[in-house]
A and B are shown apart, each in its own frame.
Chain A
Amino acid sequence: MRTLLLYLLLVSVLLVTACSDALVRVKPYERGYFAQEKMLFSPLPASAEFEEHIFAVRESSQGGSVSFQGGCGCR
């Protein structure tokens, strides 16, 4: 729980301080590449959701997913 609070605190601090100009790396008019499907973290969202479900059933690890996975008896 302390770890969770620490991270929440860090996030809050970052939100308040609004980061730094050093993190402004790309201007709005320079983002053309990011509009492409293949530049998304999950270019095939339907496939990603299904395969994460398969991995959740077949493997013991959780977290780090790109979508919310609800409970089911198969896990």
Chain B
Amino acid sequence: MKRVFIAAGLFLAVLFVSAWAETLENKISVSVHGYGDDADEEIFSGKIDVFRIFRERLGFGVSLGIDAISGATKTASADAVSGATVVAAPGDDDDEGGDGDDDGSDYNARVYPSFRLVYDDGDNNVMGGAYFSFEDDYTGRAVFLNYTRQLNLQNTSLSAGITQSFDKWDVGGLDDDDRKERQVSLSVTQLLGRRTQIQAGYDLLHSEGHLGNPNRYIDFAVGGRVLERLPSDRDGYALSARLVQLLAEPTTVHLSYRYYDDDWGINSHTTNVALFQDLSETFTLGGRYRYYTQGAADFIKPVGQYAATDPLIGIDYKYTDFDAHTVGLMAIYKPGSGLESPGGGSGWGNTTITFSVDAYQTSSNDYIRAWYGQSRLTAYFASLGLEYKY
């Protein structure tokens, strides 16, 4: 009874599991992605990931991703956030004092390789690795370690993970060009029955260094150019829960919820609901709706109220209060489902193709109006992935 109490207490308190545990399977994944919004920001991305078992219970994975990111955003109108002159963003320098037109053709590249080592003996899974990200003005380096323990005939799994990044800005004029982030994640997954599983988790988050974007600044009439000024550290946590239930073959519902809170005064609620249905033995179609709402940081002022002498200046709308809606369609195609591969080995039966497309829209927001010259932000993004198990 005591053990049940302890388990129940943990289950209520420790919400959400990282799904970082990776099973040992030889596989190659290739994916391409695209993002575009009505602020003329675009991202085209591709990634390849190879994982191979090289010894009993041990596997090694490497991945390489490349993003092409547009010059981002337009110059906002005068008298925007500052009540003074101009709010600007990357790629706008050439246009400063010009017509404010940015054709979005200025692309920056981001290259992000990573590697990981996985140990799995059926009951214990350990994954550790490193991640790198290289851009013109930013270098990301991170290490991560995750442990997952299977219990109760694999009805329960517990997971604990930590990531630590040591990032650096390569931009002149910063007092501190470091940015470090740490995330500690604890989680539990439980099978509730033959058709239902739940997952809950708790994440502790810490960031320090130059947390603002040095490419965002305000040109004040009095005081000159001032970069975005954010606090030099940030502590927060996230509680989250997920449920997957087979309603009735062949339909599955996915529900998730996350609560986030930090010491900047930002808190948020995120809910997501998705339905998947098998349309045939090889094809599954899904639809989703996501709702996000957040409050503003304590230091955020109304548009036009900042002065150059303010100790904290938030320029990005994401530090203000706003809502966002996302709707999407997903498809999973397994061309070889139901087919037997010769020799039980490779073939279409080991291939999975996935596709998703989503539309994202924020609520009306004064900062978006000041920054982008429109009341809300609308974005579309899509992904196409192929995974082959060999």
Which of the four size classes fits the interface of chain A? Answer: 35 or more
Per-residue interface assignment for chain A, residues 8 to 46, with 1 indicating a CB less than 8 Å from any chain B CB and 0 otherwise: 101101110111111111111011111011111111111
**CB atoms of A47 and B236 under 8 A apart:** no
How far is A23 from B203 in the complex, measured between Cα atoms in Å?
A: 24
- A3 to nearest B CB, angstroms? 7
How far is A26 from B334 in the complex, measured between Cα atoms in Å?
A: 27
Residues of A within 8 A of B292 (CB): 55, 59, 61
Nearest to A55 among chain B residues (CB) is B292
Check: B325 CB closer than 8 A to any chain A CB. Answer: no
Residues of B within 8 A of A36 (CB): 252
How far is A10 from B238 in the complex, measured between Cα atoms in Å?
A: 18
Chain B stretch 323-337: residues in CB contact (< 8 A) with chain A: 324, 330, 332, 334
Q: Known contacts being A23-B190, A70-B131, is A61 close to B266, with CB within 8 Å?
A: yes
Residues of A within 8 A of B369 (CB): none
Check: B35 CB closer than 8 A to any chain A CB. Answer: yes
**CB atoms of A73 and B138 under 8 A apart:** yes
Chain B binding surface SS class: strand
Q: Known contacts being A34-B191, A71-B140, A72-B133, is A46 close to B270, with CB within 8 Å?
A: no
Chain B stretch 1-19: residues in CB contact (< 8 A) with chain A: 3-4, 6-7, 9-10, 13-14, 16, 18-19
- B11 to nearest A CB, angstroms? 9
**CB atoms of B260 and A64 under 8 A apart:** yes
**CB atoms of B133 and A44 under 8 A apart:** no
A37 CB contact (under 8 Å) in B142, B318, B332: B332
Which of the four size classes fits the interface of chain B? Answer: 35 or more
**CB atoms of A54 and B151 under 8 A apart:** no
Q: Known contacts being A37-B332, A46-B31, is A21 close to B152, with CB within 8 Å?
A: yes
**CB atoms of A23 and B152 under 8 A apart:** yes
A25 CB contact (under 8 Å) in B69, B155, B242: B155
Check: B383 CB closer than 8 A to any chain A CB. Answer: yes
How far is A73 from B277 in the complex, measured between Cα atoms in Å?
A: 38
**CB atoms of A64 and B236 under 8 A apart:** no
Per-residue interface assignment for chain B, residues 81 to 113, with 1 indicating a CB less than 8 Å from any chain A CB and 0 otherwise: 000000000000000000000000000001010
Residues of B within 8 A of A30 (CB): 194
How far is A7 from B197 in the complex, measured between Cα atoms in Å?
A: 22
**CB atoms of A14 and B7 under 8 A apart:** yes
Nearest to A73 among chain B residues (CB) is B138
Check: B246 CB closer than 8 A to any chain A CB. Answer: yes
Per-residue interface assignment for chain B, residues 136 to 174, with 1 indicating a CB less than 8 Å from any chain A CB and 0 otherwise: 011010101000010111111010100101010100000
**CB atoms of A54 and B3 under 8 A apart:** no
Nearest to A66 among chain B residues (CB) is B19
Q: Known contacts being A30-B194, A46-B383, is A64 close to B158, with CB within 8 Å?
A: no
Q: Chain A residues in contact with chain B, CB under 8 A?
A: 3-4, 7-8, 10-11, 13-15, 17-28, 30-34, 36-47, 50-51, 54-55, 58-68, 70-74
Given contacts A59-B268, A60-B318, 7 further A-B contacts (CB under 8 A): A7-B202, A19-B156, A21-B152, A58-B324, A64-B16, A68-B142, A71-B179
* 28 CB-based A-B contacts, threshold 8 Å: A4-B204, A10-B9, A17-B7, A18-B151, A19-B3, A19-B151, A22-B4, A23-B152, A24-B152, A25-B191, A28-B154, A37-B284, A38-B278, A38-B332, A39-B246, A43-B286, A44-B354, A47-B356, A50-B31, A54-B381, A60-B266, A60-B318, A61-B266, A63-B240, A65-B18, A70-B132, A71-B142, A73-B213
